[in-house]
A and B are shown apart, each in its own frame.
Chain A
Amino acid sequence: MGSEKPSRYWKSWEEGPGATGLVQISTSEFPEPLDRPAEQFNRRSFLKAAGFAAAVAAAGAGCSRAPVEKAIPYLIQPEEIVPGVSYFYASTCGGCATGCGVLVKNLDGRPIKLEGNPEHPLSRGGLCAVGQASLLALYDSQRLKAPQAKGRIASWQEVDEQIAAQLASIRTSGGAVRVLSGTISSPTLNAEIQKFLLQFRDARHVVYDGLSSSAILDAHQQTHGERLLPHYRFNRATVIVSFDADFLGTWISPVEFSRDFADGRRIDSRSPQMSYHAQLESRMSLTGSKADRRISVEPHELGEIMLRIGARLAQLAGSAFPIAARTQDNSYDTVIEDLARRLWESRGRSLVVCGSQDVRLQILGNFINDLLGNYGATLDIERPSQQRQGNDANLQSLLDDLDKGNVAALFLHGVNPAYDLPGGQALVQAIERTPLVVSFAERLDETSALAHFICPDHHPLESWSDAEPVRGTLGIFQPAIHPLGKTRPVLESLAIWRGQPRPAYDILRDHWRGSVFPQQTIEPDFQTFWDRSVEAGYSEIRLKTSKPPRFQAASLKPFSQSSPAAGELSLVLYPKISMLDGRHAENPWLQELPDPISKVTWDNYACLSPGTAQRLGLREGDVVRLEVDIDAVHSPPLELPVFIQPGQHDQVIAVALGYGRKSTERFANAGPKWLFGGSDVDEDGRIGKNTAPMLALVGGSLQYIRDNVRLSKIGKRHALASTQTHHSLTMPRELPIVGGEHRDIVRETTIAALLAGEKKTVPVSPATNGLWPADHRYTGHRWAMAIDLTACTGCSGCVIACQAENNIPVVGKDEVLRHREMHWMRIDRYYTGEQDVDVVYQPMLCQQCDNAPCETVCPVLATVHSAEGLNQQIYNRCVGTRYCANNCPYKTRRFNWFDYVRNDRLQNLVLNPDVTVRSRGVMEKCSFCVQRIEVARIESNRVGKPIADGQIQTACQQSCPSQAIVFGDLNDPNSRVAQMARDPRRFGVLEEFNFRPAVNYLTVVRNRDSHEENSKVNQNNG
């Protein structure tokens, strides 16, 4: 990857390589610069790309439905398409219902990478791990490529005929028609569903979310008379108190929240300021791990504490509080007083969020927020969020109907009830009893397997659609590739069954012309509005604001919470950042993504606090059986390995949702197979265990917390594939090093210390004048990176972004067990403290040291230093001594132990052509995305302008939701990276050894009065 030969990226270009030739020809060849996606979109060029894609896709996906008038093959090269040059199309992420904006990077007619759309009002450039990985699902060879009727492949025509026939009879008979879907933030699709349902007498659209927040909506139904989900604005809050809401990890809209949260906590070291965040939770969540004050509480205590904070605030506000708190214990008095005071002091600039599914607690939360005047400030209910619309009460009634057999036709979209609802076998039978079950699932999953007809939907990257995650903020899905299979958008299917067949594109346009365009005021005519929106990938429209509903105090009714006896265990079912509710379980990237907290891959497990594990005599990896009584019926017992989770409450067992999907059976061959290699899946052939049977749908809401859990050891063991075996920077007690007990790898300080101007004492400053002559001056560019550890939430979006950008293979569970994961970018997680722990995250990647120990020891010059400060790895020169990896102090080098599994030709279309696919036996590592540097260099050569700061964004930096990573030229004093490198908080890992790392870290800052308070916090809770 010699920086001196940019031409090598142009091998495919018959004009021949060479930057000079490039400059001449490109002026006529390049239609628009790479860094301005807005001008990219041009329907003709897209469709031509699509045409090419059809040819490419045909290789992997066989026959493809190619409307002749739209696609042209590459018999004549269209002048817009330059092979090897990537185009960006603005679209929306289909990973979940959150609807973040993305730029789809298209190369040679196929999407090879998703990037966050920097201009999108919500996500603002960030993209989470799930979003990044959703690209891989596009090339999933196990996606359904054609409709199925009664379990066999069918043509659309016969499927449509049969469905139409049955629907006709239902129309006459007046049977009940139900559409069961997850949250649909697409206004067009919602409208279409309504239109579709209109033709039936008894029809309803039931919505539920695997990760339900319906309690919040129900609560607002009662307190504000409108079933809505507020749009939380964390950037406007100076005090954030979260009751078990994992808003940085999996709660509603993590990318947006992460950015807002980080923006509220960006430290300008000259005048340090940051918001205060307290987290009360029973397990260790990603959000809790970033809290300034984290209090681990028993799940049932949550309500009690909320009550008392509410009461205290009411007292401060001098208003009535109808609920009497049971004040027999005063263990939390200090906490409550402190939090109440802080909240009260920053009225209107504070925010209380609650992740509980208990409507009464949510009402309490609304009361507190209203009392503090946060509505309209930090909670927006004029333009509420539509990212969670699930209504569990409706779901419950639907399930009853199904059970009674009252439903004539059931349409399933984007949900998998047979898997993620507690109903179990009963529900399965109920669905089977239903006369007509139609599923729009992209894959054959637990539920679609039961359906009579499967009418597979497009992948979001194949389809026209839209999204309105927040009222007034609309996103557009535009296809980035021609459909790989004979799938069909739901919009079209519904239209056809309504008897008015039309292409999805027209349906979408018409809906926008009819419903969206009139609401906006900027653009005079629809076509411009439409083009602008499609170009940008989103559109914000000024809604004529009606008066927002007010809080009705009457809704606050007394209640008392039963708290379980001491020592009794309750089960907390939580979503993992990678798996969520299991919707992406078949995605190997996400399966192999280490959980930010536990660092475990390829599994779910029973998290126990160290104390409880000790009390029960359990070690990590011991398999335990969990049993819960579900309304006096024994749930099927759950057998899971134990994971010991510091910071978790002693009376809690936390288990992740989303595992044990049938689709994970495909991973039996995820990794290399050899003589003594182990299995990549569990005994039952799947990854992890399904915990949905443990859920409870009671009182009109899905409950994720169960009491009276019985835990028993069954004497088996199950190895957990963890990528980190030692979890703290404190050395093991049995190896006492006087003075070296704690390693100064990550530095922490408090806002108070910063205000006091206290400098963290640097142990040893790197030798500035060594013995050597300065033979290597970095004139010209000098690439470097800066990572703000205060902003980093450990969300791991960067890890997957890097995997997608750099063709990093998936190695499978057995290889991870052998400590051979391949991620170039990893998030090191360290605990400090004993009972209540603090957590620090440290993204760790190749530090591109100036004095790189790896380079000196390579016998064959396979890793050398570039003139721009890059530590280059030359794959085809590497013989694989692994000496460099041994000698790397940061252990960021990865070795190709095997030829990794790449036999899925369709899946291989996701590979980035700009990055070599490494062969067996060579070393690899982070390259600072050198291919992006080269693209920028070519571009600057072309336009004859120097590379601007921020023009090059590494994959990890681009997707970071909290903007913690900055890459740039250290020799440019005004570049952001240079500025951050001058920040007093800056430190380099192990720089006392004079490795001269090019990655600068900024000290973790916590909003605390002093280090002492930290320890005080640790005493008075837990």
Chain B
Amino acid sequence: MPTSEHGEFEEATKSAYNFEYYDSSWELDLMKELEKDSEVVKWTKNHGIIIPYWDEDGKLRGFKPDFLTEKKDGTKELIEIKGRHLLLQFKRKMEAAESWCKARKMNFRVVSRY
């Protein structure tokens, strides 16, 4: 399980900001990975994207994916980190995010462990 750690990642060379906030150990791990990954040229958590979706009560809500990245070839991707046990509840958000990305020729990826 990820532990709830919070903090600022200050070694982000591919981000536009002086630091990036992380809210779990998984997020911190992914930040480090993105920094190492030579395919990725830019990434941030501070992207301001809110994807509208409807929850099971029929209420309109906004979903904020965790990461936005840009690769060498210019493809852009939204990444959401989720524990596997939460994936089922996450279905509505995921569908909304997929169609949102598709319309923009972007990728949507869920990173899950355990």
- Do they bind each other? no
Interface residues, chain B, with chain A CB atoms under 8 Å away:
none
Residues of A within 8 A of B (CB): none
